[in-house]
Amino acid sequence: MRYGQAPEVLRDIDLRLTPGSFHFLTGASGAGKSSLLKLIYIAAKPSGGHLRIFDHDILTTPRTELPFLRRRIGVVFQEFHLLDHLTAFDNVALPLRIVGQKLEQYQSDVIELLDWVGLGERLWAYPPTLSGGEKQRLSIARAVVTKPDILLADEPTGNVDHAMALRILRLLVELNRMGTTVVIASHDQDLVARSGMPVLHLEHGRLSTQPAAAPRQFPDDFDTFPQTGIL
């Protein structure tokens, strides 16, 4: 993958994400982590080679079909990509409304999920009034609310404290146990080590794999998850 005539950002990548797998994606700034995530959520196409998502060849799939594939992928962006004119509740509920769910179908689930990520008292706040950490947690709640087939997270704990980072990791691990394939790009080596998950490492545009290490124990108070239709 390259941008314009610039040198290749990614080269010789040979990767298959097994359904239900969980990987951390590591590497120095500029190594190509965000570019690899863009390929997976079909925000970009490779400059060469092949890319298949859900058994669809992305290079030949009609453009009109791509939005339906993207709906099966949840993304936590570094820039949040929240809609400033919608409340926290409505930002999280939006993916459910797009697929046709009614308020009575999702209201309790969205409220409980927002409460679980620490935004229970900010349901009706608008993104411009939230802190960076609150926006990060709101973005995560929106990404997981549909229980996607694939969840991609680009530095999802970069704007939260350590305790909330562990809570977010537990949420993503639980989502993975329910069958969602998870890829997290992160510089947080403690989070990587604590997860015990295998690591994909990018260096100079090339990808290598590292086996899973023995996970560190989570604090006991992170064992409770929302008892909703989401998880």
| CATH code assigned at 136 | 3.40.50.300
Q: Mean pLDDT over residues 63-87, rounded? A: 92
pLDDT at 130: 94
Has residue 57 been placed in a domain?
Answer: no
Q: Mean pLDDT over residues 37-60, rounded? A: 93
Beta bridge mates, 203: 206
Q: What integer best gives the mean pLDDT of the chain?
A: 87
Has residue 180 been placed in a domain?
Answer: yes
Has residue 119 been placed in a domain?
Answer: yes
Residue range 123-174, pLDDT digits in tens:
999 999 999 889 988 998 999 898 899 999 998 887 778 887 887 888 788 8
Would the pLDDT of 105 be above 90?
yes
Angle, CA of 104, 100 and 62, to the nearest 5°: 160
Residue range 179-228, pLDDT digits in tens:
899 999 988 888 888 788 889 999 988 999 887 666 655 544 444 445 44
Has residue 72 been placed in a domain?
Answer: yes
Separation of first and last alpha carbons in the chain: 35
Q: Mean pLDDT over residues 33-45, rounded? A: 93
Has residue 40 been placed in a domain?
Answer: no
Q: What range does the domain containing 178 cover? A: 23-34+68-187
Task: Give residue for tokens 């939260």.
Answer: 160
Has residue 51 been placed in a domain?
Answer: no
188 φ, ψ (degrees, to nearest 5): -80, 95
pLDDT at 222: 45
Has residue 148 been placed in a domain?
Answer: yes
pLDDT at 124: 97
Torsion angle in degrees (nearest 10) through CA of 142, 146, 151, 152: -30
The domain tally of the chain equals 1
Has residue 224 been placed in a domain?
Answer: no
